[in-house]
Amino acid sequence: MACGPSDEFTGRWESAENGQASGSVLNGYLEIVVGQYGNDASGVLRVYDDPFLKFPSAQCPCMYLVDGKIRGTTVTFVLNFEHCTAMVADHTHEGEKTSYVLSLDSLSDFSAAGRILDANANELQIFDLDRIEYEDELIDEVERTCVMGSQQGNP
């Protein structure tokens, strides 16, 4: 386990080696930066087409992770798709916005299992993550925003 409860999720997480996320929601290589504050958390999720050149996904380069709540070894975020237009179309049901939840289960200091759930708690996608950075200070300002070239994911 990490040094303290506040450090359990803080840092940068990336898709596990050779493990690209695939499923009905996110397709590509994932990178998540998380700031944990006691039992609260926030973060940003980015999707790349490949893990080496890190070209942002055309469908949705990044999105904000908000309302993060920590219960034991699990943190759940609300995924904000609002500016991922392509995905919004995919995940809008009869014109109504659908909410999705990202859940991370800490397996150790350096690995976690991620899941994306829909509003009815149906598991839509599962993926593994490795922790790359452990400290809040190592996440710079740019990484905390959804500005990816010409595509800006401001809410």
The residues binding another protein (CB under 8 A) are: 5-6, 35-43, 64, 66, 68, 136, 141, 144-145, 154-155
**How many helices and strands in the chain, by DSSP H and E?**
1, 12
How would DSSP label each residue in 24-55?
A: SS--BEEEEEEEEETTEEEEEEEEES-TTT-P
CB of 136 to another protein, least distance (A): 8
Please state the closest distance from residue 83 (CB atom) to another protein, in A. Answer: 11
Minimal distance, residue 37 CB to another protein, in Å: 5
CB of 41 to another protein, least distance (A): 5
> Reduced to 3 DSSP states, what percent helix, strand and coil does the chain have, rounded to the nearest 5?
10, 50, 40
Nearer to another protein, 79 or 125 (CB): 79
Nearer to another protein, 40 or 123 (CB): 40
Residue 68: closest CA among 22, 104, 31, 121: 104
**Residue 7 or 118: which CB sits closer to another protein?**
7
Q: Which CB atom, from 26 or from 41, has the smaller least distance to another protein?
A: 41
Alpha-carbon gap, residue 135 to 55, rounded angstroms: 25
Q: How far is the CB of 42 from another protein (least distance, A)?
A: 4
Please give the torsion angle defined by the CA atoms of residues 129, 70, 139 and 108, in that order, rounded to the nearest 10 degrees.
-40
Of residues 119 and 147, the one with the C-beta less far from another protein? 147
